Amino acid sequence: MRDLAIALDDRPGALAEMGRALGQAGVSIEGGGAWVVQGRGVAHFLFADGTAARTALERAGIEVLAEREVLVQRLRQGVPGQLGELTRRMAEAGVNIEVQYSDHDHRLVLVVDDVERGRAVSEAWTREREDSPLDPPQGQ
């Protein structure tokens, strides 16, 4: 999975143009979001095929700022504090989280400055969770 950082104009229709370019190329968005920050549109979207997405966008004249590998993690929704614990471990390992969002399968997506170190933290987190009991029942 790949995250594309995309520059969008801050005007009506900019996001629609991006969606249309991807749709015409047969490229599906797997997750992400778009924001306006200080008058500039910035989007981060997740794609199974980053190359196809980049090609479709650039052919439509839409600027792709970066294409990056991501870390994907499933949090236990019934257990409070999961995001804080995982991100604390990333910080302790010296990993800076630059972008965070969810995909369409309710998984946490992280774009980090050191993907190898971040992957090690994420894999350790997954192993620990596999060895621990399942989520407690709701209300307990």
User: What would the pLDDT profile of 35-75 be if each residue is shown by its tens digit?
Assistant: 999 999 999 999 999 999 999 999 999 999 999 999 999 99
Q: Looking at the 3D structure of the chain, how many domains does it have?
A: 2
CA dihedral (28, 74, 108, 120) in degrees, to 10, reads: -110
Q: Do 123 and 113 lie in a common domain?
A: yes
For residue 6, what is the domain's CATH number? 3.30.2130.10
- DSSP letters of 42-95? EEEEEES-HHHHHHHHHHTTPPEEEEEE-EEE---TTSTTHHHHHHHHHHHTTP
Domain end residue (candidates: 52, 69, 86) = 69
User: What would the pLDDT profile of 80-120 be if each residue is shown by its tens digit?
Assistant: 999 999 999 999 999 999 999 999 999 999 999 999 999 99
Amino acid residing at 83: L
Q: Do 37 and 94 lie in a common domain?
A: no
Cα distance between residue 76 and residue 7, in whole Å: 33
The pair of three-digit structure tokens given for residue 33, joined into one six-digit string = 């979001």
